[in-house]
């Protein structure tokens, strides 16, 4: 009997820019890394922090290559432009005064405008809604107007229904707000945040926690529990089921299972789903495709332009529905979901 040829080990995918940054941060040391984090936005801190937690058993050759690439890039930097925003701000403030300088800077470089209420950048939608829910509608409108649009929409949905319409109307009628008023409002919110035990309480339980626990139960147990919950609360059962295996969990699955999944998903659906995917997951899925197919997906994503978050979430949900069906059939193995792993 002829022996089957021994397969060469699969080449691991090249690290993403975020993964490279995470490895460098682990090499910098605590103090230097903290200095870097101080210059990042809340979302950047979250993504980089998640990548740092994932750093495990990196080969020395890869570490050396990343450090060499970093030093090479660093050597091409002239330093000109670093700190330019601070220089320009001081110069214009000296010449025009603080209010006029801020007005000019916000027009010539909108990205340089300081966030109106910085503490809000570090809070989730529910914490913000709890913080402002009992304030005057005008204050609520001002706070919501200072948020990024997607976060503002989430906060709005968590407010009392009779308050939502009033808040949107007041936002539409807002014009300009003096910087002093925003600073005063931030100080009030900071004091209220420090006094609020709910805003600082640890997140324990909830639908997502229940769903993650259910992911590790056997399918027979899963079906029985969900059936029993459905008898008392159909909506709660649906919420748990929707959260039991989310799109981001695909990053933990093996390449063979992902290749099978991708063959069962329409390319248009995949393009839309990847528009809102984490960079690590996006690269992993594209790495499970041929070079030509991956290039086509990238081109279609770029040509698609901005899309609504709800459309992205619906596309991801449809792909997960396919993944769960293939998993139930035994065609693929979804890491992190109930059932035994195949070896």
The domain ranges of the chain are 17-68, 115-200, 207-244, 248-337
State the CB neighbour count (10 A cutoff) for residue 62: 15
Residue predicted with more confidence, 13 or 65: 65
Where do the DSSP E strands lie in 189-334? Answer: none
CATH code, residues 207-244: 1.20.5
Which range is least confidently modeled, 172-181, 200-209, 223-232, 311-320? 200-209
- Look over the chain and give the mean of its residue pLDDT values, rounded to a whole number: 77
Q: Which residue has the tokens 């594209």?
A: 286
Q: Residue 105: its pLDDT value, please?
A: 63
Q: Residue 338: its pLDDT value, please?
A: 44
Percent share of the chain, pLDDT over 90? 10
d(CA 251, CA 85): 38
Residue predicted with more confidence, 158 or 87: 158
8 A C-beta contact, residue 104 and residue 92: yes
Structure tokens at 129: 């809604």
The model carries a pTM of: 0.42
Closest C-alpha to 298, from 277, 317, 318, 315: 277
* Average confidence (pLDDT) over 101-108: 63
Closest C-alpha to 288, from 263, 320, 318: 263
* Average confidence (pLDDT) over 157-186: 80
Residue predicted with more confidence, 220 or 278: 278
Q: Which residue has the tokens 């300088």?
A: 101
* Average confidence (pLDDT) over 277-282: 88
- Which whole-number Å values give the CA distances from 318 to 11, 114, 242, 247, 335, in the listed order? 30, 39, 11, 10, 18
Q: Which residue has the tokens 């109307």?
A: 169
Question: Which letter does DSSP use for residue 203 in this model?
Answer: -
- Has domain 248-337 been given CATH number 3.30.930.10? no
- Which whole-number Å values give the CA distances from 130 to 41, 138, 191, 309, in the listed order? 23, 16, 14, 24
d(CA 113, CA 85): 10
* Average confidence (pLDDT) over 55-84: 76
Domain 115-200 matches domain 207-244 at the CATH topology level = no
* Average confidence (pLDDT) over 241-252: 81
- Which whole-number Å values give the CA distances from 44 to 19, 22, 39, 70, 298, in the listed order? 13, 11, 10, 19, 23
8 A C-beta contact, residue 297 and residue 286: yes
CATH code, residues 115-200: 1.10.220.30
Task: For residue 123, name the pLDDT band (cuts at 50, 70, 90).
Answer: confident
8 A C-beta contact, residue 27 and residue 63: yes
Q: Residue 269: its pLDDT value, please?
A: 92
8 A C-beta contact, residue 234 and residue 226: no
Q: Say how many CA atoms lie within 13 Å of 73 toward its Cβ.
A: 7
Instruction: Using the predicted structure, report yes or no on whether residue 336 has a pLDDT greater than 60.
Output: no
Residue predicted with more confidence, 130 or 105: 130
Q: What is the 3-state secondary structure (H, E, C) of 64-88?
A: HHHHHHHHHHHHCCCCCCCCHHHHH
8 A C-beta contact, residue 207 and residue 235: no
């Amino acid at each position: 009997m002829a022996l089957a040829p021994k397969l060469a080990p699969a080449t691991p995918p090249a690290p993403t820019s975020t993964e490279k940054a995470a490895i460098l941060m682990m090499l910098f040391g605590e103090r230097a890394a903290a200095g870097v984090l101080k210059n990042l936005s809340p979302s950047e801190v979250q993504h980089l922090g998640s990548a740092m937690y994932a750093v495990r058993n990196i080969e020395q050759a890869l570490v050396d290559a990343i450090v060499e690439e970093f030093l090479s890039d660093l050597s091409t930097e002239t330093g000109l432009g670093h700190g330019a925003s601070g220089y320009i701000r001081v110069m214009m403030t000296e010449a025009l005064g603080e209010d006029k300088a801020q007005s000019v800077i916000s027009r010539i470089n909108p990205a340089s405008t300081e966030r109106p209420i910085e503490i809000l950048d570090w809070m989730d939608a529910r914490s913000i809604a709890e913080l402002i829910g009992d304030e005057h509608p005008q204050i609520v409108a001002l706070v919501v107007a200072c948020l990024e649009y997607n976060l503002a929409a989430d906060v709005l949905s968590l407010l009392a229904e009779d308050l939502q319409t009033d808040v949107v109307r007041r936002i539409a009628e807002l014009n300009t707000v003096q910087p002093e008023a925003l600073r005063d409002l931030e100080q009030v919110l900071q004091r209220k945040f420090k006094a609020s035990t709910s805003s600082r309480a640890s997140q324990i339980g909830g639908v997502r926690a229940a769903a993650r626990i259910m992911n590790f139960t056997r399918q027979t147990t899963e079906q029985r529990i969900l059936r029993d919950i459905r008898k008392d609360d159909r909506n709660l059962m649906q919420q748990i089921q929707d959260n039991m295996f989310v799109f981001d969990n695909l990053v933990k699955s093996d390449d063979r299972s992902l290749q099978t999944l991708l063959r069962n998903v329409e390319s248009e659906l995949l393009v839309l789903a990847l528009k809102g995917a984490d960079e690590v997951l996006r690269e992993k899925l594209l790495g499970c495709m041929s070079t030509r197919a991956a290039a086509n997906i990238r081109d279609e994503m770029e040509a698609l332009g901005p899309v609504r978050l709800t459309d992205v979430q619906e596309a991801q949900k449809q792909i997960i529905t396919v993944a769960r069906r293939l998993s139930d059939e035994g065609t693929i193995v979804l890491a992190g979901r109930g059932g035994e792993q195949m070896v």
